[in-house]
Structure 1
Amino acid sequence: MSWKDSLKSNIHSVDSLRDFLPMSEEEVLSYRKIAKKFPISSTQYYLNLIDIDDPHDPIRKMAIPTISEFDMDGTFDTSGESQNTKMKGLQHKYEQTALLLSTNKCAMYCRHCFRKRLVGTSSNETLSFIKDAVSYIQSHETINNVLITGGDAFLLETDLIESYLKELTEIPHLDFIRFGTRTPVVFPERITSDLKLLELLKKYSEKKRIYVVTQFNHPKELTDEAIGAVSKLLEHNVIVNNQTVLLKGVNDHPKTLSDLQNRLVKHGIVPYYIFQCRPVKGVKNQFQVPLDQAFDIVKNARKLMNGHSKRLKFCMSHETGKIEIIGRYQSEMLFKYHQSKYPENHGRIFSVDLKPNQAWLESDDIQS
């Protein structure tokens, strides 16, 4: 059976979900209401990782909706993606990086998704014409890397993935190409069952370095199947990086976070970032950890990490850039621009006297 056939068995309805999880009639009614606004979809593989006897299971929290998603505090576009869209499906926020929204499809709809506004839609932000994007990148020689994301870039047909690589690897000023995908985590079969995908990744990695950027958030996700998918990528000359999102009720404990990062390194996955969860509507109050608590969690997790694991940076992907949370100075929290949309902010360090339970930076916090 092909990976596309397997994906057809995804769980999309509350009634189907009941085959995996016991739920009360009250929960059924709530889930149905939520699914009308924020659709449900998960691979059977991922749902089978849930401990049904644990109501606080971290996999459950990432895959199964809760009534908290009706909390509309926050915004839908927290990082200013709409402001940085140069054409349909192409964003250019940082001078060196072009981002291609190649599809709106995912193997699983994560409940903490920062593109929640796009989930389950036929969004006009998805890329229809590869050549238009390639022309833009060709004409901007400061761009030295491209991130192909979505949705999930590995939910594209394999032939379409090759179309991207064929075009992009011919651009002289590109140094490397990244694919944003959570398939190693939620749908490893996509990788392990498709030799054609693996071979084309190996083929084009000889022209331009290819990276896969994925998102393991909890040690339970590092199954034999997931590790097998990562091993296949490594065997085919693809470097695998990981971006963990700090999520309340999932990994907001130093031991959990350190175990995850250490095990990633053990299996050849490079820890890249820990991201502060974004204040997205339906996500903010359910998953965000206040910044002062978040810093302490990451700080104490670092004490338990090996040298390779602790090279990662704790950042927030802010509208103005990637801002690193670097420490405390007296009563204030110190921040540094790791990447910036605006030249005047490159490398800038600033401090903020955080309000109680503040979990994100507002524009007033970062003024010069």
Structure 2
Amino acid sequence: MCLCQSRKIVSAGSTEKYKSYTLSNYRNIRQIDRLSEEQKFDIDVVARVLPFKTNNYVVNELIDWDNLPNDPIFILNFPQREMLHPHDFDKMAKLLKRGASKKEITNCANQIRMALNPHPAGQMELNQACLDGKILSGLQHKYGETLLCFPSQGQTCHAYCTFCFRWPQFIGVEKFRFSMHDAEELVKYLKVHTEVTDVLFTGGDPLIMRTKIFARYLRKLIHADLPHLKTIRIGTKALSYWPYRFIDDADADDLLHLFDEVIAAGKHLAIMAHFNSVEELATDAVRHAICRIRSTGAQIRTQSPLLRHINDQPESWIALWEQQVKLGCIPYYMFVVRNTGNRHYFSVSLARAWKIFRAAYSRVSGIARTVRGPCMSALPGKVQVLGTAQIKGNKVFVLQMIQGRNPEWVLQPFFASFDDQAIWLDELRPAFDQSHFFYQDELDMLMESSLLSEGVA
């Protein structure tokens, strides 16, 4: 049942002022005493390396504290010991136990981080957007039609997911950050690149910004003469981690009126919502927030990686997709965990990912089958595992690209030798004694060209 009649605010239960919890104050959480001192120390160690932030809504409304340590929302928010490799954990733990200096701890953390592939899939080499010979550090342009924008004021979140592939944005190392300071540069870039139909605001979380700040970006776009710009997307976890952003935050109504402006300007507005577990859709607050967003004419599309310990059973996805459809959201992507950060903790094999996807997909109605997966956002493009097959006596993965650095690569089936242990594209080998996948020569030339332009080669 929809909780909002027109746009009027209807109480979705008692709300509190937003309060964040980080390494500095998480021990003040009332329920944290359910953890042992050893578990708290594990958090202390891992949070020195990987970002850690949660908030009072997550703590009080989403986590089932009677289900520790297996509650999925707890694992999504609180660092776990196994999220670091044992030798890295031990190295940091020894420093903390002997009271090492902040400088020693930071140096150790940065050494560990550098080994975690902080910017996978050519983000720093191939995705850069340039204007008049200048690299625009807050834009990423991997696919012709879609431009990613990272507003500088949106480079944090209401809470951090422990699996997040954008973790380098949050650790305070400036060279790892994407950050756009000037909306004028965004418009100038779009005037030159008329192939762009979609701008995706991402971060961090752009909806961490106050509405008046975010409005500077959106109004610049909708008031500029950009007839080729059809869709504005907003990538956000706010529906999951702080739905009051759309209900009764001080500028919640202003935000919805801003969405109205985008729609009235003739642009399609897509809220790219991240839901990893059906528990995130269970509160009155999130259902009310979804209803209010939809009342503006915006669409909500949903996506999540497939995560061990969180949603690695078909039943998890069936429940997630069915509930999303019930609430008027559009299932969009099941991703494979990216090859960065602590993916060893969350990843499943591609073979198992396909089995989970197929089992779930086959048991939901056609209206939920808008979802695509399992999909890897890899170096050449978005590579989808279509399944397995026996061809000429060989068991193979059947793959295709949903997006490619070269659009000619899209929807060309290709084959990899079956490997039940592989978890990412770079672990697969071409089938039928082929020396490389069909796109590899062109991709190598793109990489070489990028290195030459940077003066590396």
Query: The TM-score by the shorter chain falls in which range?
Result: over 0.9
Contact 1:14-1:28 within 8 A present in 2 as well: no
Question: Which residue, 279, 289, 313 being the options, matches 2:372?
Answer: 313
Question: Which residue, 235, 246, 260 being the options, matches 2:306?
Answer: 246
Larger Rg: 2
The alignment status of 1:95 with 2:144, answered yes or no, reads yes
- Which region of structure 1 is more displaced relative to structure 2, 140-149 or 38-47? 38-47
State the match for 1:336 in structure 2: 400
State the match for 1:154 in structure 2: 207
The alignment status of 1:112 with 2:163, answered yes or no, reads yes
Structure 2: distance between partners of 1:20 and 1:198: 34
State the match for 1:257 in structure 2: 317
State the match for 1:358 in structure 2: 422
- SS of equivalent residue, structure 2 residue 425: coil
Contact 1:58-1:218 within 8 A present in 2 as well: yes
Letter in 1 for 2:185: D
- SS of equivalent residue, structure 2 residue 366: coil
The alignment status of 1:61 with 2:75, answered yes or no, reads yes
- SS of equivalent residue, structure 1 residue 30: helix
What displacement does 1:344 show? 4.2
State the aligned residue count.
362
- SS of equivalent residue, structure 1 residue 362: helix
State the match for 1:172 in structure 2: 227
Contact 2:416-2:428 within 8 A present in 1 as well: no
The alignment status of 1:270 with 2:325, answered yes or no, reads no
Residue pairs, 1:28-47, within 5 angstroms? 28-47=40-59
TM-score after normalising by structure 1? 0.94
Letter in 2 for 1:79: A
State the match for 2:64 in structure 1: 51
State the match for 2:446 in structure 1: none
Structure 2: distance between partners of 1:276 and 1:308: 23
Q: Which runs of 5+ in 1 are unaligned?
A: none
Structure 2: distance between partners of 1:276 and 1:167: 35
The alignment status of 1:291 with 2:355, answered yes or no, reads no
Structure 2: distance between partners of 1:6 and 1:325: 43
TM-score after normalising by structure 2? 0.76
Aligned-residue identity in percent? 28
Question: Which residue, 186, 190, 206 being the options, matches 1:133?
Answer: 186
What displacement does 1:364 show? 6.6
What displacement does 1:15 show? 4.7
Q: Whose relative contact order is higher, 1 or 2, with alpha carbons under 8 Å and at least 6 apart?
A: 1
CA-based RMSD of the aligned residues comes to 1.8
Letter in 2 for 1:177: I
Structure 2: distance between partners of 1:14 and 1:277: 29
Change (3 A) 1:138 1:202: same
Structure 2: distance between partners of 1:20 and 1:140: 51
Question: Which residue, 174, 184, 193 being the options, matches 2:239?
Answer: 184
Question: CA-to-partner distance for each residue in 1:1-28, whole Å, 9 max, x for gaps?
Answer: xxxx933x11113652452332111122
